[in-house]
Amino acid sequence: MNERKTETAATSGPANANGALIRLRNVHKKYKRDQIEIPVLAGIDLEVKEGEFLALMGPSGSGKSTLLNLIGGIDRPTQGEVWVAGASIGELSSDKLSAWRARHIGFIFQLYNLIPVLTAYQNVELPLLLTRLSGKERRDRVGLALNLVGLKDRAGHFPRQLSGGEEQRVAIARAIVADPTLLVADEPTGDLDAKNAAEILTLLQRLNREMGKTIIMVTHDPNAAERAHLTVHLEKGVLKA
């Protein structure tokens, strides 16, 4: 497996310092259940440069999805700094954070999260409905995204008419249609058979190599992690080399 330890910055500062798209400094995350505090992440330091493909591995309950949610701006740290694409996640208001996510983050989920009553085209178009793009511009973007994932001829099909691999391709098209800075993928092959999983991983590699997309992927699968440039491991909320 191609692994290398990420560098930790010596000084604090914006995430784009020294070419870093993502920089976490001493990040802690705790959740409250009734009056009990549950620690999930403990002192995470991580730096990811633009154009990297990072695999994040670890056992269930190690904090992988929590870390992904912090990087994707879905959650905020309890302590520490999370800089992504020039923004400090913990300092943005809810409205600014939503606008920042729409501009910079494309999400890919294990269970696709497609809307069953919408066609593949309509599912992919959804993120663009919040923009000022014209109808023609939206059509062009959706057509390009579906073509990139090899599903332009399935644009009029509903999710129930697609295979699992095709559904995940639609989900990836939806994630890239707004040309985000960063793709975050939570177990993107976890619900697929080996053949479809391999095809999805090849597609992610193409997005990284040919389009320069930075990708953070949570996975339990060592074969999936092999496709990344860099692998880091989480154990009980702590990053291991």
What does the pLDDT read at residue 33?
A: 84
Tell whether the model's pLDDT for residue 8 goes beyond 50. no
Is there a domain that residue 22 lies in? no
Tell whether the model's pLDDT for residue 74 goes beyond 50. yes
* pTM of structure: 0.87
| pLDDT band of 6, cuts 50, 70, 90 | very low
Identify whether the C-beta of residue 240 lies closer than 8 Å to the C-beta of residue 42.
no
Span 74-99, average pLDDT: 92
Is there a domain that residue 78 lies in? no
* CATH code: domain of residue 115: 3.40.50.300
Mean pLDDT of the chain: 89
Q: What is the phi/psi pair of residue 92, to 5°?
A: -85, 140
Is there a domain that residue 38 lies in? no
What does the pLDDT read at residue 5?
A: 33
Domains identified in the chain, total number: 1
Tell whether the model's pLDDT for residue 118 goes beyond 50. yes
What tokens were used for 51? 């154009």
State the DSSP string of 17-48: GGGEEEEEEEEEEEEEETTEEEEEEEEEEEEE
Is there a domain that residue 18 lies in? no
Tell whether the model's pLDDT for residue 114 goes beyond 80. yes
Is there a domain that residue 202 lies in? yes
Task: Give, in degrees to the nearest 5, the angle at Cα 46 between 101 and 26.
Answer: 95
What tokens were used for 61? 């309950």
Query: What is the span of the domain harbouring residue 60?
Result: 51-73+93-240
